[in-house]
DNA sequence: CTAACGTACAACCACATGGTTGTAGATTCC
DNA sequence: GGAATCTACAACCATGTGGTTGTACGTTAG
């Protein structure tokens, strides 16, 4: 297992998700693959802007691209998504731990 | 239920999580509340920088502050965290849907 | 072959972000 | 009361981000 720079990974993933356009692209390409220009037609911005959003998602490993003729098909990668979900689960577990401790204290006080 | 500006909420939450220092602060204050200056002593940066990180987490509703004398105690708020986890679950559900569709297609082809 | 299409990338711009220092207001300690 | 502590916030700076346009290159269609 790669231990190195898991921090930067999380940085990239959360940053990639911190933009409504990118989240929308992600939901679409998870449903089914789409070419970059198909995606670009969906948003009120230039092709270049959408292409850059796709690059950000790609760097975060949230999507992958595969060539099909002159098109580049973008697909959602669920692995990174799962890693983030697990991370958030970790946060929540910590919280539950705290909640349990509080309950313990309240019990003792009664 | 508030329907308005759930998008901006997600923006704020993901952006808040897209920084290693802020994620570290979050894990600590979820375990147990800490004052801002206690937090500030933990990181190799100025008090003001840490205070600004706390503000970012607060705007994302990931932490809340309560006064205790001259200190401000920062605590982790789990509600927003859960909302994000649910959002990511939503993404994963979409993916599973796609996986099921692919299986269906493969079955038909055989 | 040539034209149109799909993609990638550089250069540029306005604005946000993450850091700094400095100042000022509450609150507590002695 | 006066000093120390904790917090908040403004001003500033370097860098990053999200958008633009323009250009170049490979692939497909006619």
> What confidence tens digit (pLDDT) does each residue in B81-98 have?
888 888 787 777 776 776
Contact B50, B40 (CB under 8 A): yes
pLDDT of residue B100: 63
- Which pLDDT band holds residue A50 (cuts at 50, 70, 90)? very high
Q: Which range, of A12-16, A94-98, B21-25, averages the lowest pLDDT?
A: A94-98
If DSSP codes are grouped into helix, strand and coil, which group holds residue B33? Answer: coil
By Cβ distance, the residue of B32, B88, B95 closest to A98 is B32
Compare A58 and B97 and report the one with higher pLDDT: A58
Assigned token pair, B15: 């952006």
Distance (Å) of CA B16 to CA A86, B21, B30, B59, B101:
18, 10, 15, 9, 35
Assigned token pair, A3: 């231990």
Q: Give the C-alpha separation, A21 to A1, whole Å.
A: 32
pLDDT of residue B45: 97
Q: Give the C-alpha separation, A79 to B73, whole Å.
A: 36
By Cβ distance, the residue of A20, A23, A81 closest to B92 is A81
1.10.10.10, 3.50.7.10, 3.30.56.10, 1.10.3720.10: which CATH number matches A6-77?
Answer: 1.10.10.10
Distance (Å) of CA B47 to CA A67, B21, B55, B109:
49, 13, 12, 63
What is the nearest CA distance from B103 to chain A, expressed in angstroms?
A: 14
Q: Is B5 exposed, middle or buried (0-12, 13-18, 19+ CB in 10 A)?
A: exposed
Q: What mean pLDDT is reported for chain A?
A: 84
Domain ranges of chain B: 6-77
- Which pLDDT band holds residue A102 (cuts at 50, 70, 90)? low
Q: Does B15 touch chain A (CB under 8 A)?
A: yes
Given phi > 0 = left and psi -120 to 50 = alpha, else beta, which region is B69?
left
- Which pLDDT band holds residue A56 (cuts at 50, 70, 90)? very high
Tens digit of pLDDT for each residue in B36-74? 999 999 999 999 999 999 999 999 999 999 999 999 999
Q: Stretch A17-44: mean pLDDT, rounded?
A: 95
Set of chain B residues whose Cβ sits within 8 Å of the Cβ of A27: 91, 94
* Contact call for B30 and A95, based on CB within 8 A: yes
For residue B1, is pLDDT > 60? no
Compare A103 and B20 and report the one with higher pLDDT: B20
Set of chain A residues whose Cβ sits within 8 Å of the Cβ of B6: none
Contact A63, A29 (CB under 8 A): yes
* Contact call for B15 and A15, based on CB within 8 A: yes
């Amino acid at each position: 297992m790669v231990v190195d720079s898991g921090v930067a990974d999380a940085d990239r993933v959360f940053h990639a998700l911190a933009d409504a356009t990118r989240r929308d692209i992600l939901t679409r390409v998870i449903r089914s693959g789409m070419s970059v220009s198909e995606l670009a037609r969906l948003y009120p911005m230039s092709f270049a802007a959408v292409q850059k959003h796709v690059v950000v998602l790609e760097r975060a490993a949230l999507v992958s691209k595969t060539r099909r003729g002159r098109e580049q098909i973008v697909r959602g990668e669920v692995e990174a998504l799962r890693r983030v979900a697990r991370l958030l689960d970790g946060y929540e577990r910590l919280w539950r731990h705290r909640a349990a401790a509080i309950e313990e204290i309240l019990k003792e006080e009664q």
